[in-house]
Amino acid sequence: MEELLAYLARGLVDDPDAIRVDSFKEEDGTTVLELHVPPDEAGRLIGRRGRTISALRTVLKASATRRGERVLIDVVDV
């Protein structure tokens, strides 16, 4: 999951090396993916009215559902 999110996010920004994804499990088994981006790139990932990040969340949730998992994505400014 981390690799998929990193791959998709790197395709959307000007500086792909600045993207970092960390993950951890919550008590209920949900995987939380933290997408670390520089502040000047956050707007590109979020998109107008949140459409881009919503699309990323949809793709990753679909992938996680196929595996029988739950996933959440948080965008974190570095």
Per-residue pLDDT reduced to its tens digit, 43-70:
989 999 999 999 999 999 999 999 999 9
Architecture (CATH level 2) of domain 2-77: 2-Layer Sandwich (3.30)
> How does pLDDT run across 5-45, given as a tens digit for each residue?
999 999 999 999 999 999 999 999 999 999 999 999 899 89
| pLDDT value for 77 | 82
On the question of pLDDT at 78 being above 80, the answer is no
pTM of the predicted model as reported, rounded to 2 decimal places: 0.88
How many CB atoms are closer than 10 A to CB 55? 12
Which residue stretches of the chain are H helix?
2-10, 39-46, 51-67
Domain spans of the chain? Answer: 2-77
